[in-house]
Each structure stands twice: as C-alpha cells, then as structure tokens.
Structure 1
Amino acid sequence: MRTGRLDPAARSRAIDTLARTSAATPLDILVVGGGVTGAGVALDAATRGLRVGIVDAGDWASGTSSKSSKLVHGGLRYLEMLDFALVAEALRERDLLLTTLAPHLVRPVSFVFPLDSPVADRAYIGSGMTLYDAMAIRPGTRRAMPLHRHLGPRGLRSRFPGLRTEHGGIEYGDAQVDDARLTHTLIRTAVAHGAVAANHAPVTGYLHASESTDGAAGGSATPSNSDGESGSDGSGTGRASGGDTGRASGADSSAGPASCTEDPAGRGTGRPIVGVRARDELTAEEFTIHARHTVLATGVWTERQQQLTGSSAGLRVLASKGIHITVPRDRIAADPGLGVITRTETSVLFIIPWGELWLIGTTDTPWRESVSHPLVTAEDIERVLTNANAVLSEPLERTDVVAAYAGLRPLVQPPADSDDSTRVSREHATKEIAPGASAIVGGKLTTYRVMAEDAVDFALRARRPHPRSRTESVPLLGADITEITGPRRERLRAAHGWDDARLDRLLHRYGSLLGELLDLIDERPELAEPLPGAREHLAVEAVYAVRAEGAVHLADVLHRRLRCDLACADRGVEAARAVAALIAPDLGWDAEATAAELQGFTAEVAAQRAAERTRTDAEAVAEYAARSRE
C-alpha cells in the first residue's frame, strides 16, 4: 500500500496521470466531487482493485463536508418517523467507525435530553432510547457505546449545571468527528490504495462517445463544455494550455484521433459519457480524463453538473441551510464530554462539546441563493442563540459568539417517473444521468460508507460478476494507534514541553500518522511551537497540511486543516502571515504570490463577517459580493 501523501508534486503527478488516460486506456471510475461521499466512493472503488480517479473544483471538503454538525450518530428523529432500518444502518456505521475504521478520528460523546414533563416525556423519550440502544446490538461484539440512563433533576444539575431543568433528563451516547479531517483522511486512504486524486481541478465539460462508438469507453468523443469554447487536444488525451495540442505518452494510437467538436450544455446527445474535460486551477491548463463510468458526488451542485452533461435525467436537489455557532467552553457549565440535544419548533438543537468550545446548532431554512457561497446572517445567529437560551440557565449573548458557519444540505427530490435507473432511500438516491454516468446525492456524514458502496455497485451493475465492497474492514490511515501511554508519552512531553491535552489532541487528529509530524519536528525543532493567533495548533501542522494533506492555499490550511474557521474569533487572520511564511517554500510562492494569498484570504474572511451583520440571505449575498469586489 502506498503512503497516501498529498504534496504539491503528488498533485502534479496525479493530474499528469489523469491526463494520460485515453479512449483505449480509461479509468474504471472517475469521481467528480471531493466531499465525504465522493472520498468514500473513491476509497470503495480503489479497494475493489479498480482504476480510480477523483477531482474536485475546490479543496477536499470545501463544501458541506466541512460545515456539518460533526456528529456520527444514528439519528433519533428517524425513530419518530418509524424509519427503523435507517436508524439501525446509521448506528452500525457509527460503531464501525468508532471501533474499526477511524477510532483515532471518531470519538464518543454523551448527550442529555432534558425532559418537558416528569412522566409522559420520560416514558416516551425513554422508550425511544431503549430502542436506540437495542438497534446498536451486534451479536458477538462488545457495545461501542454505553446504554442510556435516566437522570433526575438533581442528577442532571450535578452533571450539567448550566442547563435549565425541572424534570431531569436522559443521557445517551453517540460520537463526533472533525468532518473535514475525516474527508481528507478518506482521500489519503484512497490514494494509498491506488486512487489518483487532484483537488482544485474543476470539471468544465463532459465527453460523449461519437455516434460510431460501440458502447465501450473507446472511439471518438464529443465534449459538452460550460464555456462553449471548442477545441481539440489531438488524441483526446494530455494536458493543453494556450491552444497547444499533444498526445499523452503511453496512449494507444490505434484508437484513432478523437473528434472533439462541441455539444452545447443542456442539450442531451443520447450517447454515453466517456469522461470529462477539466482545468488545473493552479496552472490554468486544461486536460481530459477518460473513464468507463463517471460518478457525480457533487451534493448541492448536482443539478448544475447534470445540466453540464447535457442530460435531462430530471434529478432535482434542493438546498437547505444549516448554521452553527461556537462559544467559549467556560460560558456553559457542564461535565467534560457532555452535550445537550433538544427539540425546537423547526429543527433539533445540539449543544456539543468541541475542545475548548461549544458547537451549537443547527437551523433548517431554504437557501435560494448561489450554492457556492452559503452565508450566515445576524438573524441566523439570533435564532440559534434564542433556541440555546431556552434551555440554558445563563443566557448567551451575541458577544459570546466566537465564530459561525453555514452549510447546505443536499435534499434529493426524485423524479415522479422513477424506474430501475433510480434507487432512493429516505436519505440518499443513486441515479443514472446518462449511459456511463450516475449521481449519488443526499445522505449524511455517518452513512457515507454505505452511500459509497451503493454508488460503486450502481456504477458496476452491468458487470457480472463485479468485485464486492471491502471498506467494512479497511481502516483509514492512522487508525492503528489511538493512545500513547507510559514512557513514550513522558518522552514526548519532556522533549517538546507538551501537556497531556496537547498530546491527546494531536493523537485524535493524526493517530499513527503523528510519527510523520514528529519526523518533521526532528528536522526543524521550531515547528513544535504553537502558531501565533492559533495557539491550539503547532507550526508543524501547517507544514504537514501542505506536505501530506493536499493543501495548496491559505484557506485550505487555516480553515479545513486547522479549523480556524470555527475555533478562531478572527477566522485565522492573525495566524495567516506566519502560516504563509511556513508553507510558501513548499508551494513555490515568491513574495508577490505570498502577498496575493494573504490579501485573498483576509478579503474572504472580511466579506463573510460583513455578511453576518445583515438580516436576510439576499442582503448577505449582496454584502458579500460588494466586499469581495473591494
């Protein structure tokens, strides 16, 4: 198995490898979209021994997969809907992540459910919790989480003094994870198993087989492009820039030249999709990728990608906005590792322990603006504070809010004429977009692995037999070490001046990969120091984000690797200059490029924070756009 390292050179090699695919030598599966679902699809396919590629227009997990509630859970609300199969599936996946797949990343967390009445609510909620516990039973295995327990008013106050309660509550266990880190680790694990991955490589069009194609991924191709520009890269393979043409080394010339005339987006050809046209955002070079099957794992962008294929498959995806805020841990008194779940008029409210913070949300409102930039408004923040204060003994103020973020849930709306080309559950659907292409949409973080398995099975459904999924028994990178004890812990504490909290935090982020960070520190001892403005993090983590985790921009490092987007009041602006200096050599930035990165990062943060002072989504979008133009 490979190392799964994603440094700048590995990214460049990945794009070269993707560009060298041809009609004669296609990928088995190309995944478009690098969120948790797409990353899971890439890993599932790669561990089946398939030739796999994955690309994303932005950074890995730059969309919904870095903006969730960060919970790995069964979903109590589905019990009320009587969707027992879905709850059982999610609980199974939760326990699998906790015990086998990612015990270094997925950690137990307890919640109390405060009761509204001493008898009826306790009986109703208690019966649901009993069922929740029962559904988590796996014959022949130990429980991953303890059974729920009832707390009287006094017992609950002792465990959670900051909670307003008259009737006690019920305590139960679930799990939590840094959603972006889970996604990055999935990508790296997929690469370790042979997948080829390139972020910041948007798909600009889809390749259609010519009329003479016999249904295989060979023959000529007609790209359907978003920009309407026509052109040919000669063989249909290789990277092209500025009109240059070229044939990728190793391509089979017997396949003949590809005919790359344009087909306007939105007008279906009825011919199989045999790949995509993509662009390297860092170099502006365009290239084509050939694949036997393309899986769209693009979340709220699915309709846009469907249009880009020229398909009229009719898959509709609605966007629902959910926001979260963070507040300092000392603002709410509670035992460590204990949070709250309660009902609101329109959603469920979680108050989740998150390091030195509380993570509080969520909301559920329609989002009708651009899906590329979901924004938080002042009204959103007030709504979350109001819901939280309804159950807290000491009200939170707007000035307590450290950070806020918005994410979009992709809600699948299956067409009325669904047939065997569509498989739908309450949470996700797999749909054929055109011959050679399908979409997986909907779902939630906890069940990403099941969704990925469904997506790959769907892509391979015409093959008999096809290799079966193996991901149930494939741990993610770093999973083989979850604790450091004894003399080794003492040596690390003494060598670097780290306390137990620092060591545990590093271990829960990197697992056995922590050894790679320690190697960097051995080379440069100053990397063991905290970052200015983000002292929870070490300088080595910023360097490692570029050398191993695929980061190529400041926001990639500060927001999706170090999570300053939710943990720093200034969203990482103070730390940005130090981080830029650390990563510039590895990314080849000169003084001008470094200054441009700093300016772009600080401007983006300023635009988002300005939007948070508006009242409505439309006002937020207008303010964000105005600030972005400054």
Structure 2
Amino acid sequence: MTSSALTQESRAEALERMTGGEELDVLVVGGGVTGAGIALDAVTRGLRTGIVEMQDWAGGTSQWSSKLIHGGLRYLYNLDFKLVAEGLRERGLLLTTTAPHLVKAQPFLWPLKQRFIERAYSAVGVGMYDAMAVAGHRGMAVPVQKHYTRRRALEVFPDIREDALIGAIRFYDARVDDARLVMTLVRTAQSYGAMAASRTQVVDMLKGPGGRVTGAKVVDLETGAEHEIRAKHVINATGVWTEKTEALGGTGGGLQVLASKGIHIVVPKERIKGSTGIFLRTEKSVLFIIPWQRYWIIGTTDTPWEVEGRQHPVATAEDVDYLLEHANSVLRSDLTRADLIGVYAGLRPLLQPGTKDGAASTKVSRDHTVVEAAPGLTVISGGKLTSYRLMAEHAVDHALGKHEAKAKPSVTPSTPLVGAAGLAAYESQAPRIAQQYGWTADRLEHLLGRYGTDLPTLLAMIDDDPDLGRPLAAAPEYLRAEVAMAVTHEGALHLEDILARRIRLFYESADRGLAALDEMAEIVRPLLGWDEARALEEKASYTALAEAEAAALRTHTDVEAERARLAAPDLVPLRPLATE
C-alpha cells in the first residue's frame, strides 16, 4: 500500500503522475464527502484513480453540515422508507466497521407535547426506525428507543423548559466531524494508490471524437501551472457547483441543482445542562441541539440561497436570531448572542427533478441522482453526508456500466478508513498511554476520536520532539503536534486549512482562533518551507477572513452578508471557467 500521508510532496507527485500521459480509469472532480467516497470506491475496485479539488479537502458544503450520521427519522413521516433504510444501513457500517473512531453514537431526546396520540404516533415511528436499523445492519449498532416521563426527561436534560414537554422519547443517531471524515477518506484512497491533489481546479474538459469527454484541463492554484489529465471516465461530484462543472462537458445535459443555506450556532458546554441531544421539528426545518466534548452545536436553517456566489456562504443576524428563538422555546438557558462562540453557514445542493435535456438518469435513490451529462462524463448530486458511501458506489457503477461494474463490485462496505482497523484493541490501551504521556482521560478521548489507531503517528512525532507534546497556549484542548500533523499527514497547505477544517477554532472559539495564529504559524513554517514574509501573509489573510465573517454577522440579508464576506480576498483565488 502507498503512504496515506497527504503532504505538499504527495500532492505534487500526484499531479505529476496524473498529468504524465498515462490515462486514468477514473478522474473524480470534487473533494467533498461524495467525491472522496467515489475516489475510495474506485481505487479499491482496482481502477487507476485520481481526484482533484479546487479548494481544500471538504472546502465546500461538506465542512458545514450538522455533523450528524443519521437515517433521517423525519423522513419516515413522509413515508420515505427506502431512504431511511439506506441511511440506517450506512450509519451502522460507519459505527462498527468503516469509521468507528470518527463516528460516535449520540442519544437524542424528542420532546412530546401531547400525552397520548403523539406518544403513540412517535413511538411507532421511532420503533420502525429501530427495526429498520436492525434489519439493515443485522443487529443493533445503537440502543433502541426509551420512553421518559416529564420528570425523568428533566433529570436527563435539566435545562428543558417544563412547559415544552409532557414526556419524551430517547432515540439514537450518531455524530461526526464532517471535514475530518472527508480528509480521512482521501487519505484512505491514497493509501490504496489513488492520486489526490487539492487546490487543483478543473477549468475545462478535454474532448475526443464525437464530443466524448476524455479528461480535464486543470490549474494548479498553488503554482499557476496548467495541466491536462486524461481519463476514461470523469465523475463530477461538485455539489452546488454541479451545473457549472457539467457545462464544461459541452452539452446541454446534466442535472439542475439549486442551493439552500443552513446555518449553525455554537455555545459553550457549560451554558446548557443536559446529557443528551434534542431533536425538534420546526415550521421551516428541524432543530438539533447536539452535545460535543466542549460545546453544543445548534442548527439548522433552510433558506434559498439566491446570491450568485457559492464559495463563501455566511450567516446573517436574522439567521442567528431564528435559531436562538427556537432553541429558547425549549430551553430554560435563555441563550443570547453574547453566549455564542461560533457561527457557521453552508449550502446544500438541492437536486431538481429530471435532467436539463430530458435524458434518462439513474435515480438510484429518492435522495440522489446519477446521470451521463455527456459521453464519458458522469454527474452525481443530491444526497446527504450519511449516504456518501452508497452514492459513491452508485456513481462508479454508473460510470463503468452494468457489465464492468458487476465484474468489479464495490468493496467499501468492508474497507476500514485510516485509523479504524483494530480500534477496540487500541482503546483498551488508553489508560496506559494516558499515564505514559501525563494526559487526562478527556485528552485521550479527544485524540482517539480524531486519530483512532493512527494515534501512534502522533505519538512518534512527540517522542521525536517533546515540544510538540505541549498544548497550544491559546487553545489548550489541542496539542502542538496536532497542528504539525495537519501538515505532515492531513494535507493542510495554509493556516486557513488548519483553523477551519483540521483544528476547528474557526467555530470553536469566539475569536475564530486568532489568538492561536502566531503559535500555529511558528509550528508550520518549517514544515511548509515558509519564510517570514509568507507567514505574515498567511496570518494577515486569515485575520481578514475572520473579521469579514464577523462583519457579515452584523448584516440582515444574504446580499449584504456576502458583500461583507468578500471584503476579505481569497489567499488562493479560483480561476474563471472556460464557459464563463
């Protein structure tokens, strides 16, 4: 197997190999969770696979989700049984086989307002949810539902308002650091031989006789160099950018995708007293109050995004007030804007019915669709984080065609991600490791939840340089070694990559991590070969980004918010496409 370490050097080597003349079997465009899953699915079938992403890994929608792995309990009430069954099956795989270090079971309370009818109705729904989970995974990956009286619910979650419920049902789903899952998928794909290059933008498609897509023209945004990558199959997995990317294929076919904005707020753990999450249905969306180790994430909204740009969605004051109002309707915590330590916004790709030219598509799920937009160009869109593996399998099957797909079936249901294999055995050694390094149980829980059985890589770095074993001065929940590992193994090329997607101070601290900038830059400078001027440029760029995000939060419309956010120019700007 190839090294799973994503580095500057592995990126450069991947670009050289992809553009060296030998044709790929599959080129994946888009490094979100769907594209990363496709790359892993394709390479583990024995296909020569490459993946490119115009931003950092998970740089689009995949970094800003609710961070839930779920079957979609609310879909049962729309009778979407197949969709729920798919999600529950995938949830079980992630919890037990493919990513048990990253995906953790999470209990939720569903507050009930009506004494008899609602409890009976909801019990049937949650019971079906549990039963489908058992059927889909041949056993339970999480406990089954449990019913609570009002008094018992208040014992479990003291900060629920007494007038917000007459009782509750506890059920389980799971949570995950979404950007970390994506990066780990890419690392795993690379370990099996996939070529992976972030900050590499497709600006046009290559075409052969009859208009068949035969690859892509790409720009290395780090150097400005242009390259051509030839491939038998190109798979477009670019989410809210689907239409722009598929248009490069030169036809009027493909999928229609709109964008919907969802925002989340983050509050300190001590601000809400409760030992589970909360799930509510609202008039516009659903409300999740989700506990993490040091904070709560509350979301989400669901509003049309009608602004032209899709790279930098931001929250407005109204978005935040909406979530605070709905959270306070069930909590006695009386949250205000002063309690917030973070806010983030993302765009969901909303798949529209049918295709642009009326051509046949493979709607393999009620949640996502695969279509051949042009000969040689497969497009997939829709779906949700939980179903990424299934979407990837469907996309590769579609690209290969029925005969070849049958000869080379997907093996990802039984392929653990980096850090997953042997996790239970390694967890049993946790007390010894904690004692050896002088760490608390919380510290080791944090590290195992990020690295799993790849933790020895981090420990070896600390053994070689004990200074890396010190906590960050401004963010002591993280070790200096975690900053270094973001560069040496996890593909971070810029301070923004670390702060937004590896060590997520962007939304975990009220200053978006600005207090940690100097120390982080000190750690990564020698690893990335920066001189002092480059380090200053990186710090200035992230500072401007943080200030622009704060300014956007003071606005009242998406147009105003985007204008405020775009006041901070991108350190690595995108190029215009051939069709623009």
Q: Please, what TM-score do these two structures have when normalized by structure 2?
A: 0.95
Q: Please tell me whether residue 600 in structure 1 is matched to residue 538 in structure 2.
A: no
Checking the alignment, whether the CA contact within 8 Å between 2:204 and 2:217 is kept in structure 1 is yes
Please give the residue correspondences for 1:213-612 in structure 2 after superposition, counting only pairs within 5 Å: 213=209, 271-335=211-275, 338-369=276-307, 370-415=309-354, 418-423=358-363, 425-461=365-401, 463-464=403-404, 466-483=407-424, 488-612=429-553
Specify the alignment match of 2:26 in structure 1.
Answer: 29
The alignment partner of 1:423 has SS state of: coil
Structure 1 position 99, deviation (Å): 0.5
Q: Please tell me whether residue 108 in structure 1 is matched to residue 123 in structure 2.
A: no
Greater displacement, 455-464 / 178-187: 455-464
Checking the alignment, whether the CA contact within 8 Å between 1:371 and 1:408 is kept in structure 2 is yes
Specify the alignment match of 1:169 in structure 2.
Answer: 168
Checking the alignment, whether the CA contact within 8 Å between 2:89 and 2:136 is kept in structure 1 is no
- Alpha-carbon deviations, 1:491-528, whole Å to 9, x = none? 43333321000001100110010000000000100101
- Alpha-carbon deviations, 1:524-568, whole Å to 9, x = none? 001011112221111001100110111101011111011112211
The alignment partner of 1:456 has SS state of: helix
Partner amino acid for 1:151? Answer: Y
Structure 1 unmatched ranges of 5 or more:
214-269
Please give the residue correspondences for 1:69-84 in structure 2 after superposition, counting only pairs within 5 Å: 69-84=66-81
Specify the alignment match of 2:6 in structure 1.
Answer: 6
The percent identity for this pair of structures is: 49
Greater displacement, 31-40 / 615-624: 615-624
- Alpha-carbon deviations, 1:334-388, whole Å to 9, x = none? 12xx100011111100000011100000000000111111011111000000010
Residue 623 to residue 292, structure 1, CA distance change in 2 (3 Å)? same
State how far apart, in whole Å, the 2-side matches of 1:579 and 1:629 are: 20
Q: Please, what TM-score do these two structures have when normalized by structure 1?
A: 0.87
Structure 1 position 121, deviation (Å): 1.0
Structure 1 position 439, deviation (Å): 0.8
Structure of higher CA gyration radius: 1
Partner amino acid for 1:180? Answer: A
Checking the alignment, whether the CA contact within 8 Å between 1:59 and 1:551 is kept in structure 2 is yes
Partner amino acid for 2:339? Answer: D
Partner amino acid for 2:416? Answer: P
Structure 1 position 167, deviation (Å): 0.4
Residue 485 to residue 586, structure 1, CA distance change in 2 (3 Å)? closer
Checking the alignment, whether the CA contact within 8 Å between 1:607 and 1:628 is kept in structure 2 is no
Greater displacement, 478-487 / 576-585: 478-487
Structure 2 residue corresponding to 1:85, chosen from 82, 86, 90: 82
Checking the alignment, whether the CA contact within 8 Å between 1:8 and 1:586 is kept in structure 2 is no
The alignment partner of 1:87 has SS state of: helix
Structure 2 unmatched ranges of 5 or more:
572-580
Greater helix proportion: 2
CA RMSD of aligned residues (A): 1.7
Specify the alignment match of 2:577 in structure 1.
Answer: none
Partner amino acid for 2:325? Answer: T
Specify the alignment match of 1:142 in structure 2.
Answer: 139
Checking the alignment, whether the CA contact within 8 Å between 2:92 and 2:137 is kept in structure 1 is no
Greater displacement, 306-315 / 444-453: 306-315
Structure 1 position 489, deviation (Å): 3.5
State how far apart, in whole Å, the 1-side matches of 2:289 and 2:96 are: 25
State how far apart, in whole Å, the 1-side matches of 2:302 and 2:256 are: 19
Structure 1 position 472, deviation (Å): 0.7
Specify the alignment match of 2:127 in structure 1.
Answer: 130
The alignment covers a number of residue pairs equal to: 566
Structure 1 position 55, deviation (Å): 0.3
Checking the alignment, whether the CA contact within 8 Å between 2:361 and 2:369 is kept in structure 1 is no
Residue 497 to residue 300, structure 1, CA distance change in 2 (3 Å)? same
Residue 487 to residue 347, structure 1, CA distance change in 2 (3 Å)? closer
State how far apart, in whole Å, the 2-side matches of 1:629 and 1:575 are: 20
- Alpha-carbon deviations, 1:200-258, whole Å to 9, x = none? 1111111111xxx4xxxxxxxxxxxxxxxxxxxxxxxxxxxxxxxxxxxxxxxxxxxxx
